[in-house]
Structure 1
Amino acid sequence: MNFTGLLCFLLFLALVAVISFSRARKIRLNTTAAYFMGNRTLGFWMVGFSLFLTNLSCNQFVGENEFVYVNDMTVMAWGMSSILAMLVVAEFFLPIYLRMGAVTTPDYLEHRFGPRLKKIVSLIFLVSYLVTLIPTILYGSAVALNGIFHIDEALGISYFSAIWLLIVMVGVIGCCYTVLGGFKAITVSDLVQGAGLLIGGIALLYFALRYLGDGSAAHGVHTLLGSKKEHLNAIGGAKDPIPFSTLFTGMFLINLYYWGMEQYIMQQALAAKSLSQGQKGLSLACLSKLISPLLLNVPGLIAVHLYPSMTNTAAVFPRLVGDVLPPVMTGFMAAIIFGAAISTFNAGLNSSGTLFIMNLYKPWNRHANDRQLVKAGRIFQLSITATAMCFSPFILYFDGGFYHYIQKISSFFSVPVFTVMIVGFLTKKVSERAALIGLCFFIVTYMLSQFVLEVPLHYLHVVAILFVATVGLILAVNRWMPRAQPYEPRNLAVVDLQPWRQRYLYFFLLIAGMAGAFLLFSKAGLAK
């Protein structure tokens, strides 16, 4: 075991914890607004870094670099195409949520359709977090940390036992942040971790290229770009795991849902002090997506040259970190990766508590005061953590790539909700009953297409087809079951709704950067 690295790892974690809790201590956590939303006081720096770190979990460090090692750079499409989705959210979705004073994204469904649909969607979110989000975060972080510090070898235990031990450690630490520090502690830690991630990411690339180039980073770049060019291509063909055509079908729909409707993501923007700060924060997160391939994909490219025949491909990224970095930097990088995992875990846990308390528990127990609601939220979060800890280690036995598993299973929960919310955004007369029928239709047909029938189409194309079919079904059903009165939105805003005046210039530059990234990693660029 790298004891110097382990010591640096623990010291950096302690530093982040001290900074986070000292800043969060100024907010009393005896109200739901303070505990779940940080009293809506986030500026754009905190919104942007929170979105970046919440999205950037160990799942991506492990999963995307594994994908690049096994296949090519086509996995980059998820991050790059999300830039356009985030800009749509900043321009259209965020103003709708803030205007109605939403605490959770299903709040919109109650305003637009009715309380029944809000409760059903809240349950779907909670099941999704318990089945896919929180367990995969715990598992991914455990794989990364064991790959860096070799806990199984140091303690003389099995790989499965080491993964379970690390899962418990990550779960306990993350739960302490959420339960003791609330939303404010999470966002402060994100800001510190985000700055550390940029430093650690640059250091990792430098040392990895030096290692590849036998002491010369320039020679390492030459080796990386001079051979095995098929791994440099981000434009997937029809038979690739991620065809480029999916960017314009299911992938775009999933990204729109993820950045504009997923509670644990959107909660960061809903806590902004104004619409302008929220839009700037989303743009800052877009900028981070432009540079994220340097962390999520390029290490996988370097590993292709260093480790040509790895059997446990999920260990590609942690092995690279452990091999190329000096002991001190190894500990620092491990702490950053761990922090990214904790950030996503905290966001998922905080949002789970928000959804349960505000959308399910509070309507059931109408006489509960804020102190009782916060206490119930903490108990629920502890229960979710304990349940996820029991399930997470068994992800080890799932067939197929880790990242591919996450994306495919998450589609089961995401796009049905997205479909109903988009219909709500674009129409005024669709009824709650028609929306419920559409929601059930999508879930059942997607399950049949992926687990029962053999459909000769990529699952992202299936998602897009079902989206169109479900929208058509909802509109058809609504002809017989229309809403009694057209929906009229109400202004219940608690923050300033003045938009960011210079946003269109920055939106254009971000879209140009997205197109440039695809051109760079294509057969017209580096893969030529």
Structure 2
Amino acid sequence: MDLFVIITFLAFTLGVAFISWYKTRGSNFSSKDGYFLAGRSLTGVTIAGTIMLTNLSTEQLIGLTGQSYMTNMGPMAWEATSCVALVLMAFVFLPKYLKSGIATIPDFLEERYDYSTKRIVSLLFILGYILTYLPTVLYSGSLVLNQLFGISDRLGVSDFSAILIISGAIGVVGILYTTFGGLKITAYADTINGVGLLIGGLMIPILGLIALGDGSFMDGINTLITVNPEKLNAINPANSQAPLVPWPVLFTGLLFNNLFYWCTNQAIVQKTFGAKNLAEAQKGVIFTGFLKLIGPFFLVIPGIIAFHLYGNTLSNADLAYPTLVLDVLPKPLLGLFAAVLFGAILSSFNGALNSTSTLFTLDIYKPIMQKKAQKMLATSGNDEVALDKTDEELVNMGRKFTTGLAILSIAIAPFILYAPAGLFGYLQECFGFYNVPILAAVVIGIFSKKVPAIAPKIALVSHIILYSLSKVFLGHVHFLYVLGVLFPINILIMLYVGKIKPRENDFVQADAGVVDLTPWKYAKPIALFSIIAMAIMYLVFSPLGLGA
């Protein structure tokens, strides 16, 4: 049986790689647009698939399941409320981004403010991905695969060593994807893995309910609803502490956190920059919003099921998901499910690798290369050859940086084993050091013409100081409340600076003419439907519904 599990795992993993290569063969990966932006050729379905898989990985499967195992349905807020941010992305942010023809969020900030703002934000993104996100993806994926395959027991090593070994394997495969295929090949792989993860992910709660009902799916549902029904409540008191999600933050701190993640986070929005036009980009993000509404059913409910099955016997809440999978999934399907999880891990890892490489190469390394290119133009006598050489060198540097970054992430990953706040909480609180000032800079950049370049820098420094002080003096206050206060403070600081020292000339955005900006004609009604569906979901999982 173990051999069969390994064979099915390898067959699915290699099959996805082959199909992705076959679909993208002949693509130009040597130009910077071809490598970093998929040649601006992505459609709505592919964008939705790659965004969803970049977002959805084992840090959600483990983290959100662990949170719901400890608490209730409250963690569904991280999934369900994302559709609001994605709707705003479709109608407010995307038209501005695509009009500028940018490759990175810092590109937009440079256009609106100045190059130093771009460089600062690029460095913040890069450090955030290196120190928190990339290692967390590797750690969470390694934790699941170690549980499924028993690597530590088979090799007779510690969990720390097993996580290091598995992270290394994931990292090697990730390097192969991102260095040879860039964004386009990973987007195709994400779409295939996304279908597998959706099917496999929904199987776990179904099989879990059957186990909960001693072989009867309906009895399992009855137990879920009637025994400890408060676990199905997603509306928590205003004074709730983490990992609970207090209800007021749904309209403040969590909303701002989601806006940063879905509308300004390079790893996510880079997929939309690869769209062939605005309509396809809007389709992609609105479809993603629908998929996020499905998320609670295979990310949060499994934690409630695990609580019913195991009580408080698990030593670590982050073990709830892998324990449930091992107990309820038929062994012949274990290899396929592990391969789907491996694909989800790769997707998030590859997406962040590609985005970090894009930020470094285009925002930091490229200015250095521009000076070199100018010298080549002056001495070669052949403008086209010189420019091609510069483009090729940018891609080569991106590949080298990707390799080094992957190795560094592998080295950091095992140490997250000692993170005190739980996996998902650790990741979100780390983002809090820089997320809302970046969001504030983009929002002000879109809606104000007079705020000068110094304003986002002042807001960023004040935010880091205030957020750090909150950790020292307000440790008992939920960090989302802190973000809910700091975001308007950032906005007010920037507006005040704009009032006392406005730009000499009003900012006017130019149309780069890169893609067609005609909106998707069905965007508004479908977006409205998704918001209504989210409200209904909250009504169901509330004291007025199943959480009574």
Asked whether the two chains share a fold, i.e. TM above 0.5, the reply is yes
Instruction: Find 1:476's aligned residue among 496, 519, 526.
Output: 496
Amino acid at match of 1:344: S
Please tell me whether the aligned partners of residues 73 and 231 of structure 2 are also in contact (alpha carbons under 8 angstroms): yes
CA shift in 2, pair 1:3/1:67, >3 Å: farther
How far does residue 5 in structure 1 lie from its aligned partner after superposition? 2.2
Aligned to 1:273: 276
Please tell me whether the aligned partners of residues 437 and 456 of structure 2 are also in contact (alpha carbons under 8 angstroms): no
Mapped partners of 1:317, 1:91: distance in 2? 36
Matched, 1:288 2:291: yes
Aligned to 1:298: 301
Matched, 1:249 2:252: yes
Amino acid at match of 1:397: Y
Residues 142-151 or 473-482, more deviating: 473-482
Please tell me whether the aligned partners of residues 149 and 322 of structure 1 are also in contact (alpha carbons under 8 angstroms): no
Deviations 1:214-267 (A, max 9, x none): 222222112222202121111111232210110111110111111111001001
Please tell me whether the aligned partners of residues 272 and 278 of structure 1 are also in contact (alpha carbons under 8 angstroms): yes
Matched, 1:365 2:331: no
Please tell me whether the aligned partners of residues 4 and 327 of structure 1 are also in contact (alpha carbons under 8 angstroms): no
Aligned to 2:336: 332
Aligned to 1:105: 105
Matched, 1:90 2:90: yes
Alignment of 1:122-521 (within 5 A): 122-240=122-240, 241-308=244-311, 309-366=313-370, 367=373, 369-450=390-471, 452-454=472-474, 456-521=476-541
Mapped partners of 2:202, 2:120: distance in 1? 44
Please tell me whether the aligned partners of residues 55 and 348 of structure 2 are also in contact (alpha carbons under 8 angstroms): yes
How many corresponding residue pairs?
527
How far does residue 276 in structure 1 lie from its aligned partner after superposition? 0.5
Mapped partners of 2:357, 2:102: distance in 1? 15
Please tell me whether the aligned partners of residues 249 and 464 of structure 1 are also in contact (alpha carbons under 8 angstroms): yes
Please tell me whether the aligned partners of residues 145 and 334 of structure 1 are also in contact (alpha carbons under 8 angstroms): yes
How far does residue 287 in structure 1 lie from its aligned partner after superposition? 0.9
Aligned to 1:5: 5
How far does residue 212 in structure 1 lie from its aligned partner after superposition? 1.8
Deviations 1:21-54 (A, max 9, x none): 1222221211111111110100111011111111
Deviations 1:272-322 (A, max 9, x none): 111011111111101101111121011111111111111122111111111
Mapped partners of 1:138, 1:405: distance in 2? 14
Mapped partners of 1:205, 1:68: distance in 2? 13
Mapped partners of 1:67, 1:115: distance in 2? 41
How far does residue 509 in structure 1 lie from its aligned partner after superposition? 0.8
Q: TM-score when scaled to structure 1?
A: 0.98
What RMSD over aligned residues (CA atoms) do the two structures have, in Å? 1.3
Please tell me whether the aligned partners of residues 177 and 185 of structure 1 are also in contact (alpha carbons under 8 angstroms): yes
Aligned to 2:40: 40
Please tell me whether the aligned partners of residues 369 and 390 of structure 2 are also in contact (alpha carbons under 8 angstroms): no
Aligned to 2:379: none
Amino acid at match of 2:274: A
Amino acid at match of 1:66: G
Mapped partners of 1:454, 1:77: distance in 2? 23
How far does residue 339 in structure 1 lie from its aligned partner after superposition? 1.0
Deviations 1:469-507 (A, max 9, x none): 222222222333321111011000311100011211111
Amino acid at match of 2:424: Y
How far does residue 456 in structure 1 lie from its aligned partner after superposition? 4.9
Please tell me whether the aligned partners of residues 264 and 351 of structure 1 are also in contact (alpha carbons under 8 angstroms): yes
Please tell me whether the aligned partners of residues 434 and 481 of structure 1 are also in contact (alpha carbons under 8 angstroms): no
- Name the SS of the counterpart of 2:220 in structure 1: helix
How far does residue 386 in structure 1 lie from its aligned partner after superposition? 0.8
Mapped partners of 2:532, 2:22: distance in 1? 40
Mapped partners of 1:169, 1:338: distance in 2? 11
How far does residue 455 in structure 1 lie from its aligned partner after superposition? 5.3
Please tell me whether the aligned partners of residues 139 and 393 of structure 1 are also in contact (alpha carbons under 8 angstroms): yes
Please tell me whether the aligned partners of residues 39 and 271 of structure 1 are also in contact (alpha carbons under 8 angstroms): yes
Deviations 1:119-174 (A, max 9, x none): 11111110110111101000010011111111111222111111111111111111
Mapped partners of 1:185, 1:343: distance in 2? 11
Residues 304-313 or 118-127, more deviating: 304-313
Q: What percentage of aligned pairs have identical amino acids?
A: 38
Instruction: Point out where structure 1 has 5 or more consecutive residues left out of the alignment.
Output: none
Please tell me whether the aligned partners of residues 99 and 493 of structure 1 are also in contact (alpha carbons under 8 angstroms): yes
- Name the SS of the counterpart of 1:282 in structure 2: helix
Mapped partners of 1:305, 1:49: distance in 2? 33
Residues 417-426 or 344-353, more deviating: 417-426
Q: TM-score when scaled to structure 2?
A: 0.94
Alignment of 1:14-25 (within 5 A): 14-25=14-25
Please tell me whether the aligned partners of residues 6 and 149 of structure 1 are also in contact (alpha carbons under 8 angstroms): no
Residues 296-305 or 232-241, more deviating: 232-241
Mapped partners of 1:312, 1:260: distance in 2? 33
Please tell me whether the aligned partners of residues 423 and 471 of structure 1 are also in contact (alpha carbons under 8 angstroms): yes
Mapped partners of 2:208, 2:10: distance in 1? 23
Mapped partners of 2:98, 2:116: distance in 1? 22
Which ranges of 4 or more aligned residues in structure 1 deviate by more than 6 Å? none
Mapped partners of 1:218, 1:456: distance in 2? 41
- Name the SS of the counterpart of 1:53 in structure 2: helix
Mapped partners of 2:188, 2:492: distance in 1? 44
Deviations 1:356-412 (A, max 9, x none): 111110112212611111110111111111111111100001112211111111111
Mapped partners of 1:219, 1:456: distance in 2? 40
Amino acid at match of 2:533: G
Mapped partners of 1:175, 1:427: distance in 2? 41
Amino acid at match of 2:288: A
Aligned to 1:79: 79
Mapped partners of 1:246, 1:156: distance in 2? 45
Please tell me whether the aligned partners of residues 49 and 191 of structure 1 are also in contact (alpha carbons under 8 angstroms): yes
